[in-house]
Structure 1
Amino acid sequence: MMLKSGNRMIISVILAGMLLLCCGCTDRASDAEVLLPETVSGDLETVQPDREEKPAEKNSETAEEAFCTVYVCGAVMSPGVYSLPQGSRIYEALNAAGGLCAEADQVFLNQAELLTDGQQIYVPTEEEAETLKQAGDTGTKTDAEDGKINLNTASREELMTLPGIGEAKADSILDYRKEHGRFTSIEELMQIPGIKEGIFAKLKDSITAV
Protein backbone atom coordinates (compact mmCIF):
# COMPACT_ATOMS: atom_id res chain seq x y z
CA MET A 1 0.00 0.00 0.00
CA MET A 2 1.49 3.30 -1.02
CA LEU A 3 1.80 6.10 1.58
CA LYS A 4 0.36 9.39 0.71
CA SER A 5 2.74 12.26 0.19
CA GLY A 6 1.44 14.03 3.31
CA ASN A 7 2.13 11.00 5.50
CA ARG A 8 5.61 10.61 4.06
CA MET A 9 6.38 14.20 4.97
CA ILE A 10 5.22 13.72 8.58
CA ILE A 11 7.33 10.58 8.96
CA SER A 12 10.37 12.40 7.53
CA VAL A 13 9.96 15.24 10.04
CA ILE A 14 9.68 12.77 12.96
CA LEU A 15 12.80 10.89 11.85
CA ALA A 16 14.74 14.14 11.45
CA GLY A 17 13.70 15.25 14.94
CA MET A 18 14.80 11.95 16.47
CA LEU A 19 18.15 12.23 14.70
CA LEU A 20 18.72 15.76 16.01
CA LEU A 21 17.76 14.66 19.53
CA CYS A 22 20.30 11.83 19.45
CA CYS A 23 23.04 14.18 18.22
CA GLY A 24 22.23 16.69 20.98
CA CYS A 25 22.54 14.04 23.70
CA THR A 26 25.86 12.91 22.29
CA ASP A 27 27.21 16.49 22.29
CA ARG A 28 26.14 17.11 25.90
CA ALA A 29 27.77 13.88 27.04
CA SER A 30 30.96 14.90 25.27
CA ASP A 31 30.87 18.34 26.91
CA ALA A 32 30.43 16.77 30.34
CA GLU A 33 33.46 14.57 29.78
CA VAL A 34 35.59 17.59 28.88
CA LEU A 35 34.40 19.84 31.71
CA LEU A 36 34.93 17.32 34.49
CA PRO A 37 38.76 17.31 34.37
CA GLU A 38 38.77 21.14 34.23
CA THR A 39 36.72 21.32 37.43
CA VAL A 40 39.05 18.93 39.24
CA SER A 41 42.10 20.78 37.93
CA GLY A 42 40.68 24.07 39.18
CA ASP A 43 40.22 22.62 42.68
CA LEU A 44 43.82 21.45 42.76
CA GLU A 45 45.10 24.88 41.74
CA THR A 46 43.12 26.50 44.56
CA VAL A 47 44.63 24.25 47.25
CA GLN A 48 48.24 24.37 46.08
CA PRO A 49 49.18 27.97 47.13
CA ASP A 50 48.28 27.23 50.78
CA ARG A 51 50.99 24.56 50.90
CA GLU A 52 53.60 26.94 49.49
CA GLU A 53 53.12 29.73 52.09
CA LYS A 54 54.44 27.78 55.10
CA PRO A 55 58.14 27.67 54.06
CA ALA A 56 58.04 31.44 53.48
CA GLU A 57 56.77 32.04 57.02
CA LYS A 58 59.51 29.80 58.43
CA ASN A 59 62.18 31.66 56.47
CA SER A 60 60.86 34.96 57.85
CA GLU A 61 61.18 33.71 61.44
CA THR A 62 64.73 32.51 60.77
CA ALA A 63 65.67 35.92 59.36
CA GLU A 64 64.42 37.68 62.51
CA GLU A 65 66.46 35.38 64.74
CA ALA A 66 69.64 36.25 62.79
CA PHE A 67 69.65 39.87 64.06
CA CYS A 68 70.30 41.54 67.42
CA THR A 69 68.93 44.91 68.49
CA VAL A 70 71.07 47.42 70.41
CA TYR A 71 70.70 50.97 71.70
CA VAL A 72 73.57 53.32 70.79
CA CYS A 73 73.69 56.59 72.72
CA GLY A 74 76.07 59.23 74.01
CA ALA A 75 78.61 60.99 71.78
CA VAL A 76 77.48 59.56 68.43
CA MET A 77 76.02 61.33 65.41
CA SER A 78 72.62 59.57 65.39
CA PRO A 79 71.73 57.96 68.74
CA GLY A 80 69.01 55.34 68.49
CA VAL A 81 68.02 51.69 68.32
CA TYR A 82 69.64 49.60 65.58
CA SER A 83 69.34 45.99 64.39
CA LEU A 84 72.52 44.31 63.18
CA PRO A 85 73.37 40.73 62.15
CA GLN A 86 74.30 38.31 64.91
CA GLY A 87 78.06 38.29 65.39
CA SER A 88 78.44 42.04 64.77
CA ARG A 89 80.80 44.07 66.95
CA ILE A 90 80.55 47.41 68.73
CA TYR A 91 82.38 49.32 66.01
CA GLU A 92 79.69 48.23 63.52
CA ALA A 93 76.95 49.53 65.81
CA LEU A 94 78.81 52.84 66.10
CA ASN A 95 79.02 53.04 62.30
CA ALA A 96 75.28 52.37 62.07
CA ALA A 97 74.74 55.32 64.42
CA GLY A 98 76.64 57.61 62.06
CA GLY A 99 80.00 57.31 63.78
CA LEU A 100 81.50 59.11 66.77
CA CYS A 101 81.15 62.82 67.42
CA ALA A 102 84.26 65.00 67.44
CA GLU A 103 84.21 65.21 71.25
CA ALA A 104 83.79 61.44 71.76
CA ASP A 105 86.49 59.46 73.52
CA GLN A 106 87.87 57.18 70.81
CA VAL A 107 89.33 54.48 73.05
CA PHE A 108 87.02 54.26 76.06
CA LEU A 109 85.01 51.38 74.58
CA ASN A 110 86.39 48.09 73.34
CA GLN A 111 85.09 48.43 69.80
CA ALA A 112 86.01 44.83 68.97
CA GLU A 113 83.55 43.47 71.56
CA LEU A 114 80.71 41.29 70.25
CA LEU A 115 77.20 42.71 70.47
CA THR A 116 74.44 41.07 72.51
CA ASP A 117 70.71 41.49 71.94
CA GLY A 118 69.28 44.31 74.05
CA GLN A 119 72.69 45.83 74.77
CA GLN A 120 73.10 49.55 75.42
CA ILE A 121 76.28 51.16 74.10
CA TYR A 122 77.08 54.49 75.73
CA VAL A 123 79.91 56.55 74.23
CA PRO A 124 81.27 59.16 76.67
CA THR A 125 82.89 62.42 75.65
CA GLU A 126 86.59 62.87 76.37
CA GLU A 127 85.70 64.93 79.43
CA GLU A 128 83.28 62.29 80.71
CA ALA A 129 85.76 59.52 80.02
CA GLU A 130 88.45 61.32 82.01
CA THR A 131 86.09 61.62 84.96
CA LEU A 132 85.17 57.95 84.71
CA LYS A 133 88.81 56.92 84.55
CA GLN A 134 89.64 58.97 87.62
CA ALA A 135 86.68 57.44 89.42
CA GLY A 136 87.93 54.03 88.40
CA ASP A 137 91.29 54.73 90.01
CA THR A 138 89.54 55.32 93.33
CA GLY A 139 87.17 52.38 92.94
CA THR A 140 84.14 54.46 91.95
CA LYS A 141 83.71 52.89 88.52
CA THR A 142 85.53 49.61 88.52
CA ASP A 143 87.43 47.14 90.54
CA ALA A 144 91.07 48.02 89.89
CA GLU A 145 92.14 44.43 89.30
CA ASP A 146 89.63 43.16 86.75
CA GLY A 147 88.05 46.30 85.24
CA LYS A 148 84.51 45.39 86.33
CA ILE A 149 81.92 47.96 87.38
CA ASN A 150 81.44 48.01 91.13
CA LEU A 151 77.74 47.92 91.99
CA ASN A 152 78.45 49.53 95.36
CA THR A 153 80.19 52.63 94.03
CA ALA A 154 79.15 53.09 90.39
CA SER A 155 77.35 56.26 89.31
CA ARG A 156 74.19 56.40 87.22
CA GLU A 157 76.16 57.05 84.02
CA GLU A 158 78.54 54.19 84.77
CA LEU A 159 75.70 51.74 85.35
CA MET A 160 74.19 52.76 82.02
CA THR A 161 77.26 51.45 80.20
CA LEU A 162 76.26 47.91 81.22
CA PRO A 163 74.37 45.70 78.71
CA GLY A 164 70.61 46.00 79.14
CA ILE A 165 70.80 48.83 81.71
CA GLY A 166 69.10 52.06 80.71
CA GLU A 167 68.19 55.15 82.69
CA ALA A 168 65.26 53.56 84.54
CA LYS A 169 67.16 50.45 85.62
CA ALA A 170 70.21 52.50 86.63
CA ASP A 171 67.97 54.63 88.87
CA SER A 172 66.45 51.46 90.34
CA ILE A 173 69.91 50.15 91.22
CA LEU A 174 70.82 53.41 92.96
CA ASP A 175 67.49 53.43 94.85
CA TYR A 176 68.03 49.83 95.95
CA ARG A 177 71.55 50.63 97.13
CA LYS A 178 70.30 53.66 99.06
CA GLU A 179 67.54 51.63 100.75
CA HIS A 180 69.35 48.34 101.42
CA GLY A 181 72.99 49.39 101.63
CA ARG A 182 75.87 47.67 99.89
CA PHE A 183 75.40 44.71 97.55
CA THR A 184 76.79 41.57 99.16
CA SER A 185 76.89 39.66 95.85
CA ILE A 186 76.28 40.36 92.18
CA GLU A 187 73.33 37.93 92.24
CA GLU A 188 71.55 40.35 94.58
CA LEU A 189 71.07 42.55 91.51
CA MET A 190 68.21 40.25 90.46
CA GLN A 191 66.23 41.46 93.48
CA ILE A 192 65.61 44.69 91.58
CA PRO A 193 62.37 44.75 89.52
CA GLY A 194 63.06 44.45 85.81
CA ILE A 195 66.44 42.75 86.22
CA LYS A 196 65.97 39.02 85.90
CA GLU A 197 68.09 36.10 84.72
CA GLY A 198 68.17 37.17 81.06
CA ILE A 199 69.66 40.62 81.70
CA PHE A 200 71.83 39.33 84.54
CA ALA A 201 73.40 36.73 82.24
CA LYS A 202 74.45 39.50 79.85
CA LEU A 203 76.13 41.72 82.44
CA LYS A 204 77.35 39.37 85.19
CA ASP A 205 80.86 39.22 83.71
CA SER A 206 81.07 43.04 83.74
CA ILE A 207 80.14 43.70 87.38
CA THR A 208 81.46 43.12 90.87
CA ALA A 209 80.23 43.82 94.42
CA VAL A 210 83.23 44.63 96.63
Structure 2
Amino acid sequence: MAFQDQAVGICARLHLTAVRKPILIGIVVVLGVVAASAVLALASPAAAGEVVAVISAQERSVVGEDASGAEAAAGEGETISAEREAEGGNEGDSRSGEASLGGAGSETMLCVHVDGEVAAPGVYYLPEGSRVVDAVEAAGGMTGDARSSGVNLAQGLTDGQQVLIPGPDDVPGAADSPAGGEGAAAGDERVNVNTATAAELETLDGIGEVTAAKIIAEREAHGPFASPEDLKRVSGIGDKKIEALRDRICL
Protein backbone atom coordinates (compact mmCIF):
# COMPACT_ATOMS: atom_id res chain seq x y z
CA MET A 1 0.00 0.00 0.00
CA ALA A 2 1.09 3.61 -0.55
CA PHE A 3 0.97 4.47 3.15
CA GLN A 4 3.19 1.52 4.00
CA ASP A 5 5.61 2.39 1.21
CA GLN A 6 5.85 5.95 2.55
CA ALA A 7 6.50 4.60 6.04
CA VAL A 8 9.24 2.29 4.71
CA GLY A 9 10.83 5.20 2.84
CA ILE A 10 10.84 7.37 5.98
CA CYS A 11 12.37 4.57 8.04
CA ALA A 12 15.08 4.07 5.40
CA ARG A 13 16.00 7.75 5.57
CA LEU A 14 16.10 7.54 9.37
CA HIS A 15 18.20 4.33 9.18
CA LEU A 16 15.44 2.39 10.93
CA THR A 17 15.16 -0.45 8.42
CA ALA A 18 15.83 -3.01 11.13
CA VAL A 19 12.61 -2.04 12.94
CA ARG A 20 9.56 -4.16 12.24
CA LYS A 21 6.90 -2.70 9.94
CA PRO A 22 4.05 -2.41 12.50
CA ILE A 23 6.26 -0.36 14.75
CA LEU A 24 7.38 1.79 11.85
CA ILE A 25 3.78 2.42 10.87
CA GLY A 26 2.96 3.45 14.43
CA ILE A 27 5.91 5.84 14.48
CA VAL A 28 4.79 7.41 11.21
CA VAL A 29 1.23 7.82 12.51
CA VAL A 30 2.52 9.53 15.65
CA LEU A 31 4.70 11.85 13.61
CA GLY A 32 1.77 12.66 11.35
CA VAL A 33 -0.41 13.55 14.33
CA VAL A 34 2.35 15.75 15.75
CA ALA A 35 2.78 17.50 12.40
CA ALA A 36 -0.96 18.06 12.06
CA SER A 37 -1.09 19.47 15.57
CA ALA A 38 1.74 21.87 14.77
CA VAL A 39 -0.05 23.05 11.64
CA LEU A 40 -3.24 23.60 13.57
CA ALA A 41 -1.33 25.48 16.29
CA LEU A 42 0.20 27.80 13.69
CA ALA A 43 -3.15 28.39 12.04
CA SER A 44 -5.15 28.79 15.28
CA PRO A 45 -4.20 32.45 16.14
CA ALA A 46 -5.73 33.74 12.91
CA ALA A 47 -8.75 31.51 13.32
CA ALA A 48 -9.02 32.49 16.94
CA GLY A 49 -8.75 36.16 15.95
CA GLU A 50 -11.57 35.72 13.48
CA VAL A 51 -13.64 33.96 16.08
CA VAL A 52 -12.89 36.68 18.64
CA ALA A 53 -13.74 39.37 16.06
CA VAL A 54 -17.04 37.67 15.28
CA ILE A 55 -17.83 37.30 18.97
CA SER A 56 -16.87 40.94 19.64
CA ALA A 57 -19.11 42.11 16.82
CA GLN A 58 -21.96 40.05 18.20
CA GLU A 59 -21.34 41.41 21.69
CA ARG A 60 -21.35 44.96 20.39
CA SER A 61 -24.59 44.29 18.60
CA VAL A 62 -26.12 42.82 21.75
CA VAL A 63 -24.80 45.68 23.89
CA GLY A 64 -26.14 48.20 21.39
CA GLU A 65 -29.52 46.52 21.43
CA ASP A 66 -29.48 46.48 25.25
CA ALA A 67 -28.53 50.16 25.37
CA SER A 68 -31.27 51.05 22.89
CA GLY A 69 -33.73 49.01 24.91
CA ALA A 70 -32.60 50.72 28.13
CA GLU A 71 -32.97 54.17 26.55
CA ALA A 72 -36.40 53.25 25.23
CA ALA A 73 -37.41 51.91 28.64
CA ALA A 74 -36.11 55.09 30.30
CA GLY A 75 -38.05 57.21 27.81
CA GLU A 76 -41.19 55.20 28.47
CA GLY A 77 -40.61 55.57 32.22
CA GLU A 78 -40.26 59.36 31.89
CA THR A 79 -43.41 59.51 29.77
CA ILE A 80 -45.38 57.47 32.30
CA SER A 81 -44.01 59.62 35.16
CA ALA A 82 -45.00 62.82 33.35
CA GLU A 83 -48.48 61.44 32.65
CA ARG A 84 -48.92 60.48 36.31
CA GLU A 85 -47.76 63.92 37.44
CA ALA A 86 -50.21 65.55 35.04
CA GLU A 87 -53.01 63.32 36.28
CA GLY A 88 -52.06 64.11 39.87
CA GLY A 89 -52.07 67.85 39.10
CA ASN A 90 -55.46 67.65 37.40
CA GLU A 91 -56.84 65.65 40.30
CA GLY A 92 -55.41 68.18 42.78
CA ASP A 93 -56.96 71.06 40.80
CA SER A 94 -60.26 69.21 40.69
CA ARG A 95 -60.19 68.58 44.41
CA SER A 96 -59.17 72.18 45.01
CA GLY A 97 -62.10 73.31 42.90
CA GLU A 98 -64.44 70.99 44.76
CA ALA A 99 -63.13 72.29 48.08
CA SER A 100 -63.72 75.86 46.93
CA LEU A 101 -67.26 75.07 45.88
CA GLY A 102 -67.93 73.28 49.17
CA GLY A 103 -66.69 76.30 51.10
CA ALA A 104 -68.96 78.64 49.14
CA GLY A 105 -72.00 76.38 49.62
CA SER A 106 -71.51 76.14 53.38
CA GLU A 107 -71.76 79.93 53.98
CA THR A 108 -74.14 80.78 56.82
CA MET A 109 -77.27 82.55 55.63
CA LEU A 110 -79.73 84.71 57.57
CA CYS A 111 -83.47 84.53 56.99
CA VAL A 112 -85.10 87.96 57.40
CA HIS A 113 -88.59 89.33 56.76
CA VAL A 114 -88.63 92.71 55.01
CA ASP A 115 -91.98 94.50 55.18
CA GLY A 116 -93.54 97.93 55.03
CA GLU A 117 -92.61 100.61 52.54
CA VAL A 118 -90.36 98.55 50.24
CA ALA A 119 -90.81 97.66 46.59
CA ALA A 120 -91.08 93.89 47.13
CA PRO A 121 -91.90 92.88 50.73
CA GLY A 122 -91.11 89.28 51.59
CA VAL A 123 -88.69 86.81 53.15
CA TYR A 124 -85.08 87.01 52.00
CA TYR A 125 -81.90 85.03 52.68
CA LEU A 126 -78.80 87.15 53.18
CA PRO A 127 -75.19 86.26 54.10
CA GLU A 128 -74.22 86.41 57.74
CA GLY A 129 -72.93 89.88 58.60
CA SER A 130 -75.47 91.68 56.41
CA ARG A 131 -77.10 94.90 57.60
CA VAL A 132 -80.55 96.48 57.35
CA VAL A 133 -79.51 98.35 54.21
CA ASP A 134 -78.75 95.00 52.53
CA ALA A 135 -82.20 93.68 53.42
CA VAL A 136 -83.85 96.83 52.05
CA GLU A 137 -81.88 96.56 48.80
CA ALA A 138 -82.81 92.87 48.49
CA ALA A 139 -86.47 93.91 48.72
CA GLY A 140 -86.08 96.40 45.89
CA GLY A 141 -85.39 99.49 47.97
CA MET A 142 -87.72 101.88 49.79
CA THR A 143 -90.84 103.37 48.25
CA GLY A 144 -91.40 107.10 47.96
CA ASP A 145 -93.58 107.06 51.10
CA ALA A 146 -90.96 105.43 53.33
CA ARG A 147 -89.79 107.29 56.44
CA SER A 148 -86.09 106.49 56.20
CA SER A 149 -85.31 108.75 59.15
CA GLY A 150 -86.88 106.16 61.43
CA VAL A 151 -84.63 103.32 60.21
CA ASN A 152 -81.04 102.53 61.22
CA LEU A 153 -79.74 101.22 57.91
CA ALA A 154 -76.33 100.41 59.40
CA GLN A 155 -77.77 98.03 61.99
CA GLY A 156 -76.65 94.39 61.77
CA LEU A 157 -79.19 91.66 61.00
CA THR A 158 -80.00 88.52 62.99
CA ASP A 159 -81.59 85.29 61.80
CA GLY A 160 -85.40 85.47 61.90
CA GLN A 161 -85.47 89.27 62.19
CA GLN A 162 -88.23 91.42 60.73
CA VAL A 163 -87.21 94.66 59.07
CA LEU A 164 -90.22 96.97 58.95
CA ILE A 165 -89.86 100.17 56.94
CA PRO A 166 -92.39 102.71 58.26
CA GLY A 167 -94.66 104.86 56.13
CA PRO A 168 -96.11 108.34 56.74
CA ASP A 169 -98.62 107.09 59.31
CA ASP A 170 -96.36 104.55 61.03
CA VAL A 171 -94.39 104.92 64.24
CA PRO A 172 -90.74 105.80 63.55
CA GLY A 173 -87.97 103.42 64.52
CA ALA A 174 -89.59 100.51 62.73
CA ALA A 175 -86.47 98.55 61.80
CA ASP A 176 -86.16 95.75 64.35
CA SER A 177 -82.90 95.59 66.25
CA PRO A 178 -80.98 92.91 68.10
CA ALA A 179 -80.05 93.43 71.72
CA GLY A 180 -77.38 96.01 72.32
CA GLY A 181 -78.73 98.54 69.77
CA GLU A 182 -78.71 102.27 70.22
CA GLY A 183 -81.18 103.53 72.82
CA ALA A 184 -84.75 104.68 72.40
CA ALA A 185 -86.38 106.46 69.51
CA ALA A 186 -86.13 110.21 69.52
CA GLY A 187 -88.63 112.91 68.53
CA ASP A 188 -91.86 111.74 70.20
CA GLU A 189 -90.07 110.34 73.28
CA ARG A 190 -91.25 106.83 72.57
CA VAL A 191 -89.12 103.96 73.88
CA ASN A 192 -87.93 101.34 71.41
CA VAL A 193 -88.39 98.09 73.33
CA ASN A 194 -85.99 96.32 70.96
CA THR A 195 -83.06 98.65 71.62
CA ALA A 196 -83.77 100.43 74.91
CA THR A 197 -81.58 99.96 77.95
CA ALA A 198 -82.99 98.89 81.32
CA ALA A 199 -82.98 102.51 82.53
CA GLU A 200 -84.93 103.64 79.46
CA LEU A 201 -87.49 100.86 79.86
CA GLU A 202 -88.02 101.84 83.48
CA THR A 203 -89.24 105.27 82.34
CA LEU A 204 -92.39 103.55 81.06
CA ASP A 205 -95.44 103.39 83.30
CA GLY A 206 -95.74 100.02 85.00
CA ILE A 207 -92.26 98.85 84.03
CA GLY A 208 -89.92 98.44 86.96
CA GLU A 209 -86.42 97.09 87.32
CA VAL A 210 -87.51 93.44 87.32
CA THR A 211 -89.79 93.74 84.26
CA ALA A 212 -87.21 95.76 82.35
CA ALA A 213 -84.66 93.00 82.98
CA LYS A 214 -87.18 90.40 81.75
CA ILE A 215 -87.81 92.37 78.54
CA ILE A 216 -84.09 92.55 77.78
CA ALA A 217 -83.57 88.86 78.61
CA GLU A 218 -86.48 87.84 76.37
CA ARG A 219 -85.33 89.77 73.31
CA GLU A 220 -81.77 88.49 73.75
CA ALA A 221 -82.96 84.89 74.03
CA HIS A 222 -85.67 84.83 71.35
CA GLY A 223 -85.06 87.83 69.14
CA PRO A 224 -86.69 91.26 68.84
CA PHE A 225 -90.37 91.95 69.37
CA ALA A 226 -92.35 92.14 66.12
CA SER A 227 -95.37 94.02 67.52
CA PRO A 228 -96.58 95.52 70.83
CA GLU A 229 -98.62 92.36 71.43
CA ASP A 230 -95.39 90.39 71.20
CA LEU A 231 -94.47 91.81 74.61
CA LYS A 232 -96.79 89.19 76.10
CA ARG A 233 -93.82 86.86 75.71
CA VAL A 234 -92.54 88.55 78.87
CA SER A 235 -93.87 87.19 82.12
CA GLY A 236 -95.96 89.84 83.91
CA ILE A 237 -97.05 91.75 80.80
CA GLY A 238 -100.63 91.23 79.64
CA ASP A 239 -103.16 92.92 77.37
CA LYS A 240 -103.95 95.74 79.82
CA LYS A 241 -100.31 96.72 80.27
CA ILE A 242 -99.73 96.58 76.53
CA GLU A 243 -102.65 98.98 75.94
CA ALA A 244 -101.21 101.32 78.55
CA LEU A 245 -97.80 101.21 76.85
CA ARG A 246 -98.94 101.32 73.21
CA ASP A 247 -98.58 105.10 72.84
CA ARG A 248 -95.23 105.15 74.65
CA ILE A 249 -93.33 102.44 72.83
CA CYS A 250 -92.06 101.69 69.35
CA LEU A 251 -90.33 98.76 67.70
Q: Which has the higher contact order (CA 8 A, sep 6+)?
A: 1
TM-score, normalised to structure 1, is 0.46
TM-score, normalised to structure 2, is 0.40
